[in-house]
Structure 1
Amino acid sequence: MRSLSGEAHPAAHPQPDRRRGVLLSYPLRVNTTAFPISELLPDILASLAAQPRLVLEAPPGAGKTTQVPLALLDAPWLAGRKIVMLEPRRVAARAAAGFMAQQLGEAVGGTVGYRIRFEHKVGPTTRIEVVTEGILTRMLQDDPLLEGVGAILFDEFHERHLAGDLGLALALDVQAGLREDLRIVVMSATLDGERLAAFLAAPRLSSAGRSFPVEIAHFPARRDEALEQQARRAIEQALAAHPGDVLVFLPGRREIAKLESVLAEALSQRPLSAAGELLSPQFGHLAPIRARALPGAPDAIPSPRKSAAPGIEVLPLHGDLPIEQQSRVLQPASDGRRRIVLATNVAESSVTLPGVRVVIDSGLAREPRFDPNSGFSRLDSVTISQASADQRAGRAGRVAEGFAYRLWPQSQRLEGQRKPEIAQVELAALALELAAWGSSELRFVDPPPSGALAAGRDLLQRLDALSDGKLTARGSRMLALGTHPRLAAMLLAADVPARIALACDLAALVEARDPLRSRSDALAERWQALAAFRNGRVPADANRSALAAIDAAAKQWRRRLRCAASPPVSVPAHALGDLLAHAFPDRIAKQHPQDPRRYQLANGRMARLFDDSVLYGEPWIVASELRFEAKDALLLRAAPVDEALLRAEFATHFSDADEVRWDAEKRALRSERVERFDGIVLAVKSAGRVDPAQAARALTAAVRELGLTVLPWSDGLSQWRIRMQCLRSWMPELGLPDLSDAALLASLERWLQPAFAGKTRLDALDSAELAEALKSGIDWNLRQRIDQLAPTRIAVPSGLERAIEYRLDDHGEPAPPVLAVKLQELFGLAQTPRIADGRVPLLLHLLSPGGKPLQVTADLHNFWASTYAEVRKEMKGRYPRHPWPDDPWNAVATHRAKPRGT
Structure 2
Amino acid sequence: MTALPIESALPELRRQLNERGSAVLVAQPGAGKTTRVPLALLDAPWLAGRRILMLEPRRLAARSAARFMASLFGEEVGQTVGYRVRMDTRVGPKTRIEVVTEGVLTRLLQADPGLDGVGAVLFDEFHERSLHADLGLALCLQCRALFRDDLRLLVMSATLDAAPVAELLGGAPVIESGGRVFPVETRYLPDKPEGRLEETVARAIRRALAEEAEGDLLVFLPGTGEIRRVEALLADRLQTDRGRIRILPLHGNLPQDAQDRAIAPSEPGVRKIVLSTSIAETSLTIEGTRIVVDSGWMRVPKFSPQTGMTRLETVRVSLASADQRRGRAGRLGPGVCYRLWTETEERTFAPHGTPEIAEADLAPLALELAAWGAADPGELRWLDEPPAAAYRQARELLTQFGALAPSGAITPHGRRMAELGMHPRLAHMALRAVPLGLGPAACALAALLSERDAFRRVSSAPSPVAADLRLRLEALLRHGRSGATGEAAPAYSGMTADASALRRAAAAAADWRRALGLSGEGGREPDVDACGLLLALAYPDRIGQNRGGGRFLLSSGRGAAFAETQTLSSAPYIVAAELDDHGAESRIALAAPVDVRELERTFPERFAEESIVEWDRSTQSVRARRRKRLGAIAVTDVPLSKPGGEETIRALLDGLAVEGIGMLPWTGAARRLQQRVLFLRRHDADWPDWSDEALERTAEEWLAPHVAGIRSRAELQSLNLVSVLEAALPWEKRRRLDEWAPTHLTVPSGSRLPVDYADPEAPSLSARLQELFGWTETPRIGGGRVPVTIRLLSPAQRPVQVTRDLANFWRETYFEVKKDLKGRYPKHYWPDDPMSAVPTNRVKPKP
Please indicate, yes or no, whether the TM-score normalized by the shorter chain is above 0.5: yes
Q: Distance in 2 between the 1:245 and 1:186 partners?
A: 32
Aligned residue in 2 for 1:348 = 281
Per-residue deviation, 1:494 = 3.5
Secondary structure class of the residue paired with 1:211: coil
Q: Distance in 2 between the 1:537 and 1:326 partners?
A: 23
Per-residue deviation, 1:137 = 1.0
Match of 1:548 among 477, 499, 511: 499
Match of 1:515 among 433, 456, 467: 456
Aligned residue in 1 for 2:606 = 653
Aligned residue in 2 for 1:489 = 428
Give aligned-pair identity as a percent. Answer: 45
Residue 621 to residue 69, structure 1, CA distance change in 2 (3 Å)? same
Q: Distance in 2 between the 1:567 and 1:515 partners?
A: 28
Residue 669 to residue 464, structure 1, CA distance change in 2 (3 Å)? farther
Aligned residue in 2 for 1:61 = 30
Q: What one-letter code is carried by the residue in structure 2 that aligns with 1:89?
A: R
1:204 aligns with 2:200: no
Q: Distance in 2 between the 1:244 and 1:611 partners?
A: 43
1:87 aligns with 2:50: no
Per-residue deviation, 1:567 = 9.5
1:429 aligns with 2:364: yes
1:641 aligns with 2:594: yes
1:576 aligns with 2:531: yes
1:400 aligns with 2:333: yes
1:260 aligns with 2:215: no
Aligned residue in 1 for 2:541 = 586
Q: Distance in 1 between the 2:563 and 2:199 partners?
A: 33
Aligned residue in 2 for 1:447 = 385
Q: Is the CA contact (8 Å cut-off) linking 2:217 and 2:274 kept in structure 1?
A: yes
Cα deviation 1:635-664 (Å, max 9, x = unaligned): 66543322343234323323457x898979
Secondary structure class of the residue paired with 1:46: helix
1:224 aligns with 2:195: yes
Aligned residue in 2 for 1:179 = 148
Which stretch has the larger CA shift, 360-369 or 183-192? 360-369
Q: Is the CA contact (8 Å cut-off) linking 1:82 and 1:127 kept in structure 2?
A: yes
Unmatched segments (≥5 aa) in structure 1: 1-30, 273-310, 706-758, 766-902
1:98 aligns with 2:50: no
Q: Distance in 2 between the 1:471 and 1:69 partners?
A: 36
TM-score (norm 1): 0.63
Secondary structure class of the residue paired with 2:444: helix
Q: Distance in 2 between the 1:46 and 1:610 partners?
A: 59
Per-residue deviation, 1:677 = 3.5
Q: Distance in 2 between the 1:507 and 1:374 partners?
A: 24
Secondary structure class of the residue paired with 1:448: coil
Match of 1:467 among 405, 414, 419: 405
Per-residue deviation, 1:539 = 3.0
Aligned residue in 1 for 2:205 = 234
Q: What one-letter code is carried by the residue in structure 2 that aligns with 1:218?
A: Y
Per-residue deviation, 1:448 = 1.1
Residue 537 to residue 610, structure 1, CA distance change in 2 (3 Å)? closer
Q: Distance in 1 between the 2:411 and 2:238 partners?
A: 58
Cα deviation 1:771-822 (Å, max 9, x = unaligned): xxxxxxxxxxxxxxxxxxxxxxxxxxxxxxxxxxxxxxxxxxxxxxxxxxxx
Aligned residue in 1 for 2:575 = 622
Cα deviation 1:821-852 (Å, max 9, x = unaligned): xxxxxxxxxxxxxxxxxxxxxxxxxxxxxxxx
Alignment of structure 1 residues 844-859 onto 2, 5 Å: none
Secondary structure class of the residue paired with 2:342: coil
Q: Distance in 1 between the 2:280 and 2:368 partners?
A: 30
Q: Is the CA contact (8 Å cut-off) linking 1:672 and 1:688 kept in structure 2?
A: no
Per-residue deviation, 1:401 = 1.7
Match of 1:410 among 343, 346, 356: 343
Per-residue deviation, 1:764 = 11
Q: What one-letter code is carried by the residue in structure 1 that aligns with 2:134?
A: D
Secondary structure class of the residue paired with 2:153: strand
Aligned residue in 1 for 2:490 = 538
Q: Distance in 2 between the 1:143 and 1:400 partners?
A: 45
Match of 2:15 among 30, 46, 52: 46
Q: Distance in 2 between the 1:628 and 1:358 partners?
A: 37
TM-score (norm 2): 0.66
1:500 aligns with 2:440: yes
Q: Is the CA contact (8 Å cut-off) linking 2:447 and 2:506 kept in structure 1?
A: no
Q: Distance in 2 between the 1:611 and 1:261 partners?
A: 23
Aligned residue in 1 for 2:299 = 366
Q: Is the CA contact (8 Å cut-off) linking 2:311 and 2:581 kept in structure 1?
A: no
1:113 aligns with 2:65: no
Cα deviation 1:118-146 (Å, max 9, x = unaligned): 00100001111100011111111111111
Per-residue deviation, 1:232 = 4.8
Per-residue deviation, 1:331 = 3.7
Secondary structure class of the residue paired with 1:57: strand
Q: Distance in 1 between the 2:552 and 2:112 partners?
A: 46
Secondary structure class of the residue paired with 2:30: coil
Residue 654 to residue 54, structure 1, CA distance change in 2 (3 Å)? same
Q: Is the CA contact (8 Å cut-off) linking 2:201 and 2:230 kept in structure 1?
A: no
Q: Is the CA contact (8 Å cut-off) linking 2:55 and 2:124 kept in structure 1?
A: yes
Q: Distance in 1 between the 2:287 and 2:51 partners?
A: 30
Q: Is the CA contact (8 Å cut-off) linking 1:111 and 1:128 kept in structure 2?
A: yes
Secondary structure class of the residue paired with 1:370: strand
Q: Distance in 2 between the 1:84 and 1:492 partners?
A: 31
Per-residue deviation, 1:507 = 4.7
Residue 660 to residue 75, structure 1, CA distance change in 2 (3 Å)? same
Q: Which has the larger radius of gyration?
A: 2
Residue 330 to residue 316, structure 1, CA distance change in 2 (3 Å)? same
Secondary structure class of the residue paired with 2:286: coil
Q: Is the CA contact (8 Å cut-off) linking 2:181 and 2:327 kept in structure 1?
A: yes
Per-residue deviation, 1:241 = 2.4
Q: What one-letter code is carried by the residue in structure 2 that aligns with 1:473?
A: P
Per-residue deviation, 1:261 = 3.3
Q: Distance in 2 between the 1:250 and 1:635 partners?
A: 24
Aligned residue in 1 for 2:717 = none
Cα deviation 1:549-571 (Å, max 9, x = unaligned): 54234313322224675896984
Residue 36 to residue 175, structure 1, CA distance change in 2 (3 Å)? same
Residue 388 to residue 630, structure 1, CA distance change in 2 (3 Å)? closer
Per-residue deviation, 1:313 = 3.4
1:126 aligns with 2:95: yes
Residue 629 to residue 232, structure 1, CA distance change in 2 (3 Å)? closer
Cα deviation 1:296-350 (Å, max 9, x = unaligned): xxxxxxxxxxxxxxx4433333223333333344443454643332222222111
Cα deviation 1:61-82 (Å, max 9, x = unaligned): 1111111111111111111111
Q: Distance in 2 between the 1:763 and 1:627 partners?
A: 51
Which stretch has the larger CA shift, 472-481 or 259-268? 259-268
Residue 347 to residue 637, structure 1, CA distance change in 2 (3 Å)? closer
Q: Distance in 2 between the 1:606 and 1:261 partners?
A: 35
Q: Is the CA contact (8 Å cut-off) linking 1:505 and 1:551 kept in structure 2?
A: no
Q: Distance in 2 between the 1:630 and 1:354 partners?
A: 44
Q: Distance in 1 between the 2:552 and 2:242 partners?
A: 60
Cα deviation 1:510-537 (Å, max 9, x = unaligned): 8534635527665556666777897865
Residue 444 to residue 621, structure 1, CA distance change in 2 (3 Å)? same
Per-residue deviation, 1:97 = 0.8
Unmatched segments (≥5 aa) in structure 2: 458-462, 659-697, 705-847
Residue 39 to residue 577, structure 1, CA distance change in 2 (3 Å)? same
Q: What one-letter code is carried by the residue in structure 2 that aligns with 1:543?
A: M
Q: Is the CA contact (8 Å cut-off) linking 1:509 and 1:550 kept in structure 2?
A: no
* RMSD between aligned residues: 4.3
Q: What one-letter code is carried by the residue in structure 2 that aligns with 1:581?
A: A
Alignment of structure 1 residues 785-824 onto 2, 5 Å: none
Residue 373 to residue 270, structure 1, CA distance change in 2 (3 Å)? farther
